Homo-oligomer: A and B are copies of this chain.
Amino acid sequence: MDHPQVFRFSTQISHLALDIGGTLIKLVYFSANGDSIEESRDGGSIVVGNNGCSVVQGRLCFAKFETRKIDDCLEFIRLNILHHSSGVQHPNGTACDKLSVKATGGGAFKFADLFKEKLGIHFDKEDEMHCLVGGANFLLKTVPREAFTYLDGQKKFLQIDHKDLYPYLLVNIGSGVSMIKVDGDGKYERISGTSLGGGTFLGLGKLLTKCQSFDELLELSHHGNNRVIDMLVGDIYGGTDYSKIGLSSTAIASSFGKAISDGKELEDYQPEDVARSLLRMISNNIGQIAYLNALRFGLKRIFFGGFFIRGLEYTMDTISVAVHFWSRGEAKAMFLRHEGFLGALGAFASYKEQSQDNSEMKPQHHTVQRAILNCSGDNVRHFPVTANLNDGETIECSISLV
């Protein structure tokens, strides 16, 4: 294959951004409509904007990899992005130290040398919190039907008035959990966090159930009953409520507390029940700490993101109930359809910031201009990147070449 010079893509893979966390690597990349940008030029996907910029129609695509399998990620980028027909192949088809991509998360530091060595990609590092906030703001302001509440088994999409968006609390549940008060574009403060996050769920879950993956553990938890291992108020009070302080007999008094006294060993429990208790414990704890932090700053809306949730109903329900219970209905838990990709989206969106800030200096950067409307929950387009690796909800959008 030749290496076509397609617009200004040649020295910047600006349509790729990475968020490399402790457990997962998240990728966001732009895929032009049609088989390649050259084709799409003919196919009508590229239009010239009012300001004279070229505008490319396409989709934001999402992919994830386990950080411990980083070689899969490198291979994916090499095959699907560096060599992709969209025209970002490097002239010699191999490494080059001039390629630069936005990267965030701790792995942007830890694996910088590896990406340079293996792919010739230089990481343009962006701060993790900055990217999380940038990604959340991008989604909340640009993508319709992105945010929703989940209570009593009902998913309810929210109409968010952009003028009334701030302040809000962003809770990103990755391996650990960050809690960020967001006051505007680029205006935020990390006010809290907890080490009991997705890494705890999967780490403890693996040790307790021998599950090998997050998905397997979630699937198990779906079929379990937490009451087998959790000590309920009724277990202590002989079946009755402790009504004076508002604790029903079915409230969990002590997570995993029954394992103390029922004479069973780990093998005697069903892995489903263990997984369920674990999920409940961690979800409830995050919901509680999030609420307490929202309370400090009078934040009524709490958005939960990160790869822990994955749209799983039981998880969302537990978090929602925790926020509802502790706030006595004052605060609301809200979720995001693209919850797992906040950091990567924020890194992607930061090309735009630089383009605006330093358009003279970095003319090669491209911007995420807008999301096209047909990405609602009812009209989701799945874009399987490879059969085995990752599916993701794509966001139709355009990028403008400034």
A interface residues with partner B (beta carbon < 8 Å): 21-23, 66-68, 105-107, 109-111, 127-129, 174-176, 190, 192, 194-200, 202-204, 206-208, 210, 229-231, 233, 235-240, 242, 244-245, 252-261, 265-266, 269, 274, 281, 284-285, 288-289, 292-293, 295-296, 326
Contact = CB atoms under 8 A, between A and B. Distances in A.
Given A200-B281, A244-B127, A107 B236 contact: yes
A203 B296 contact: no
Contact of A254 (B22, B107, B111): B22
A245 B242 CA distance: 41
**Which residue of A200, A202, A233, A295 has the most chain B CB atoms within 10 A of its CB atom?**
A200
Nearest to A198: B254
Contact of A231 (B176, B240, B285, B292): B176
Contact of A260 (B203, B239, B296): B203
Given A129-B245, A195-B252, A23 B260 contact: yes
Contacts of A288: 192, 194, 289
A173 to B, nearest CB: 10
Nearest to A263: B68
Contacts of A238: 106-107, 109-111
Contacts of A257: 22-23, 175-176, 195, 197, 199-200, 203
Identical copies of this chain, number: 2
List the 5 closest A-B pairs by CB distance, nearest first.
A199-B257, A110-B238, A199-B254, A106-B236, A203-B256
A292 B257 CA distance: 24
Contact of A207 (B206, B239, B259): B259
A22 B258 CA distance: 9
Given A68-B261, A195-B257, 15 more contacts: A22-B235, A192-B288, A192-B326, A195-B281, A199-B255, A200-B255, A203-B229, A203-B260, A206-B259, A207-B208, A207-B259, A207-B274, A208-B208, A208-B266, A296-B296
Contacts of A255: 195-196, 199-200, 203
Nearest to A196: B255
A381 to B, nearest CB: 31
B265 A210 contact: yes
B197 A254 contact: yes
Nearest to A278: B204
A285 B204 CA distance: 16
Contact of A199 (B196, B204, B253): B253
A232 B37 CA distance: 43
Nearest to A256: B203
B195 A254 contact: yes
A195 to B, nearest CB: 4
Contact of A175 (B174, B254, B284): B254
A367 B189 CA distance: 54
B203 A22 contact: no
A229 to B, nearest CB: 7
Given A22-B254, A67-B261, A285-B285, A237 B199 contact: no
A172 to B, nearest CB: 12
Contacts of A207: 208, 256, 259, 265-266, 269, 274
B236 A190 contact: no
Given A194-B285, A296-B292, A253 B129 contact: no
Contacts of A242: 106, 128
A70 B289 CA distance: 36
B258 A203 contact: yes
A10 to B, nearest CB: 30
Given A244-B127, A326-B192, A176 B253 contact: yes
B21 A236 contact: yes
